[in-house]
Structure 1
Amino acid sequence: MSNSPIQNPKVDVERVNEIKKASFWVSQVFIIIATVLGVYLAASQGYKQAVQFENMKSYKESYYLQKSLQYELQDNIALLKTYIGKLQNANYYGARNEPLNFYSLVWDNMKFSSATLATPPEFLRQAQGFYRNVAKLHDSIAKSDISVDNGLKQLRIEIDLVEQDLIPGLEKSTQTIKQELSGTDVIL
């Protein structure tokens, strides 16, 4: 071990003088402001992109849900028309009690989909009314609570409501969604 005295580190006089100058502090303030502003702008743009992505995803899910409901209703109308044809056939005695066997995959699974509530409420209400009213009419016809002729008239009214109001409404809604997504990279 040597007995040499500990030397003080040399202080850079130029550096100390630079720190004392106002230009040093002004440049540091601008660096801090630029950093904060840059972080804010990046976060803001990221948030906007996330919201836009979520909206496009919601539109796409809503489009597919409404289109699927539209197709299911069209198929069920065809089944109902077949049932009506059987009821009108005087030689077919089992028609009153024949089950409708509606397709209900979409309707049943809509209760588990977050996109269901993005569907305009009037469409959900009309579809719900259709299913409910047809089931009630079918049951009343089967139990002879109402005459076949009266039941047929009421079933035709239900068909007309769906064909003239609900299905065109769903078609218009899906076309609006399709136009909304036309300028994006979303493929329907």
Structure 2
Amino acid sequence: MSQNQMPNPKVDIERVNEIKKASFWVSQVFILLATVIGVYLAASQGYKQAVQFENMTSYKESYYLQKSLQYELQDNIVLLKGYMAKIQDSNYYGARNEPLNFYTLIWENMKFSSTTLSTPPMLLRQAQQFYREVAKLHESIAISDISVPTGIKKLQAQIDIVEQQLIPTLEKNTAQIQHELAGSDIIL
């Protein structure tokens, strides 16, 4: 069309008549509804995926934390058994006062981890009791508040609790987490 030519008034009238028709408005309403529903469904699905990913990541962190605590407790039991053997040896005079030098990297860093509270409270309580009771017994043996045989018996009781209750429960709990993550893309 050149600049001097006028638009065809018949075509403009047809467009105006088309806009006035109900079918035009119905189709526009359906387009609007379809857009809103599509955006809602996409956002909802995206939110579900984000929550699922966050849960899986939390499970993974919890798995590693609990496994690390388990290994640390097992290593500390080995150290404690070595200490118990030394204090029973009458030729080793300084054994009573020898420090235990437990590995506590995991236990100490659990204070700062948000994942710590996803560990079942019973497990945390048992670990806390183990560390606390062993420290008290070690001090009592060192200052001769209790005899070596009594101390050995009480230390063995603490070892038994960890070996027979805490560690198997940690293993069971981490196996359950591993099972939860088996169907996901999260690699342990």
The two structures have a TM-score, normalised by structure 2, of: 0.94
Q: What whole-Å deviation, never above 9, does each CA across 1:128-169 have from its counterpart, x for those lacking one?
A: 000000000000100111111111100000000000000000
The 2-side partners of 1:8 and 1:121 are apart by 80
The 2-side partners of 1:74 and 1:29 are apart by 67
The 2-side partners of 1:186 and 1:48 are apart by 17
Distance apart, 1:123 and its partner CA: 0.4
| Alignment gaps of 5+ in structure 2 | 1-5
Q: What whole-Å deviation, never above 9, does each CA across 1:55-77 have from its counterpart, x for those lacking one?
A: 00000000000000000000000
Distance apart, 1:8 and its partner CA: 9.9
Match of 1:183 in 2: 183
The 2-side partners of 1:43 and 1:98 are apart by 62
Match of 2:54 in 1: 54
The 1-side partners of 2:7 and 2:104 are apart by 87
The residue matched to 1:183 in structure 2 has which SS? Answer: coil
Higher mean C-alpha deviation, range 11-20 or range 138-147: 11-20
The 1-side partners of 2:164 and 2:91 are apart by 31
Number of aligned residue pairs: give it: 182
The 2-side partners of 1:144 and 1:87 are apart by 12
Match of 1:145 in 2: 145
Q: What whole-Å deviation, never above 9, does each CA across 1:26-80 have from its counterpart, x for those lacking one?
A: 0000001001100110110011001000000000000000000000000000000
The 1-side partners of 2:87 and 2:36 are apart by 75
Match of 1:112 in 2: 112
CA RMSD of aligned residues (A): 1.3
The 1-side partners of 2:93 and 2:124 are apart by 35
The 1-side partners of 2:62 and 2:186 are apart by 13
Match of 1:37 in 2: 37
Code of the aligned partner of 1:150: T
| Alignment gaps of 5+ in structure 1 | 1-6
The two structures have a TM-score, normalised by structure 1, of: 0.94
Match of 1:4 in 2: none
The residue matched to 1:12 in structure 2 has which SS? Answer: helix
Match of 1:85 in 2: 85
Q: What whole-Å deviation, never above 9, does each CA across 1:68-96 have from its counterpart, x for those lacking one?
A: 00000000000000000001111111110
The 2-side partners of 1:112 and 1:81 are apart by 29
